[in-house]
């Protein structure tokens, strides 16, 4: 056997290869940002390719209509507290005064009927007026109680305010 022939044994071994390269990493997907509301962009705080943290402000939108909705909800609550409740209180006082007047008139006519100075029909009209005044007073009392105790109207208005502020 000549000297230039070597015997080698063939065996399986892992292939190790080291590669050094330069390049650019391309992401398989792209992220798009959108807004739940339609508005004019006043300020853009980031550019394409910028790194941003979660919760960072990316753009500032003009929100005139949203501000108007908040003001409207606040005004509705204010109107309830400054107008609706005081009006209900005033209506109750007025209805109670009319009831007292109707009751006095009914008593007065009752006395006049006993002395036979008026017709029975006149007393009946006074008693009917007293019943109507009592119903009006009861209605005014119920309306005021609903505004004062349940606060359902105010709760609805406060929820509208919260929605407007969240937007």
Instruction: Give tens-digit pLDDT for 3-26.
Output: 566 777 778 888 777 877 787 767
Q: Which of 8-17, 48-57, 66-75, 116-125 has the highest mean pLDDT?
A: 116-125
pLDDT given for residue 149 in this prediction:
58
- CB contact at 8 A, 134 and 128: no
Judge whether 132 and 55 are in contact, CB under 8 Å.
no
| Short-list 93, 84, 99, 81, CA closest to 135 | 99
Dihedral over Cα of 10, 12, 13, 18: its sign: positive
For residue 108, pLDDT over 90 is answered with yes
Residues 156 and 28: their CA atoms lie apart, in Å, by 47
pLDDT at 17: 79
pTM of the predicted model over 0.95 = no
């Amino acid at each position: 056997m000549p000297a230039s022939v070597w015997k080698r044994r063939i065996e399986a071994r892992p292939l190790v290869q080291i590669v050094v390269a330069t390049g650019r990493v391309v992401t398989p997907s792209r992220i798009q940002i959108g807004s739940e509301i339609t508005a004019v962009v006043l300020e853009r705080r980031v550019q394409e390719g910028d790194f941003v943290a979660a919760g960072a402000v990316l753009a500032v939108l003009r929100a005139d209509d949203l501000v108007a909705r908040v003001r409207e909800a606040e005004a509705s609550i204010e109107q309830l507290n400054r107008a609706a409740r005081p009006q209900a209180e005033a209506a109750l006082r007025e209805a109670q005064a009319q009831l007292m007047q109707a009751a006095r008139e009914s008593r007065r006519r009752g006395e006049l009927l006993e002395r036979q100075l008026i017709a029975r029909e006149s007393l009946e009209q006074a008693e009917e007026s007293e019943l109507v005044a009592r119903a009006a007073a009861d209605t005014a009392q119920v309306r005021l109680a609903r505004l004062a105790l349940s606060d359902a109207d105010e709760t609805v208005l406060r929820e509208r305010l919260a929605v407007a502020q969240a937007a």
